[in-house]
Amino acid sequence: MSEDDPHRHKWFHDHLTPDLVLLHSIREVTYSGRSPFQSIDIIDTNSFGACLVLDGKIQSSEHDEFIYHEALVHPVMLSHSAPEKVLIAGGGEGATLREVLAHRSVKKVTMVDLDREVVDICRRFLPSLHQNSFDDPRLELHFADARGFLERNKEGFDVILLDLPDPIAGGPARLLYTREFYRLVRQRLDPGGIMSVQAEPASWHDLQEFAAIANTLRSVFPVVRAYRTHIPSFASMWGFITASARLDPAALAPDEIDHRVATRLSREPRSYDGHTHLAMFSIPKHIRQRMAATERVSTDQDPISAY
């Protein structure tokens, strides 16, 4: 960079692995602070626009967040015949909520986020992500630990979406990726229900958490399907996993997905359609083989830990 470039010393270092760092040039730090649970930053980058950063890791960027949130939400929502009651754990920026509310069948969304400050800051500084979804009368918002909430509340749900922070050692979400927690999630799914979880990187060089989460879910649910898509701001293929007693999103043909999108959503997704659905569930052989060889199961006594 030239000496007169005003951004030459303003870089955000996103540590993807211990051996890989992605640099984003920063136009402005919009907000920087700490809640009782984690550090919170909103940075305006030249590469991906405004980004939510929690504990030093990018969670969402305004330029490509639609890829992530459509991938998390629509495969499971469209697998269910008519989801009316949906639980979102996490998702403080409101974009997962936005995608859920696009489904005409939804009558109630219960959103549980541990950190009120994340939601408040995102509502103020990231309006393009939530698009006023927090004002929808179908929303019931709780600020609580998702595990404690599910233990206390016996309500059943058609769909449960786990849009949680990474399971960082010492972080607030580490015990939300364990076999014990997934058993609780299964108990709160109504018959015919389905869940999905963001499941960490799913690239050839960084598979350990993705494979372990899939293996952990298989110890609880009969039907588990892993899938992935590329998130540019994460510089990675990113993993997602569905789990259910009987619903199988991978069995849906592209034409059927397109039909359900056209008849059940109030607006057309930007990234997701039948062809995208088919591609996401088509995991290459070398990735499938490495996942099949994984025996790791995350438990409360021995939880997985992301970098």
User: Which active-site residues does the annotation give?
Assistant: 163
Q: What are phi and psi of 257, to 5 degrees?
A: -60, -45
Q: What is the DSSP letter of 261?
A: H
Is there a contact between 86 and 157 (Cβ–Cβ < 8 Å)?
yes
Give φ, ψ of 67 to 5 degrees: -65, -50
CA gap 2, 88 in Å, rounded: 46
Pair 241, 213: CB distance under 8 Å: yes
Nearest to 202 by CA among 275, 288, 274, 304: 288
Residue 22 phi, psi (nearest 5): -110, 130
Distance separating alpha carbons of residues 76 and 30, to the nearest angstrom: 34
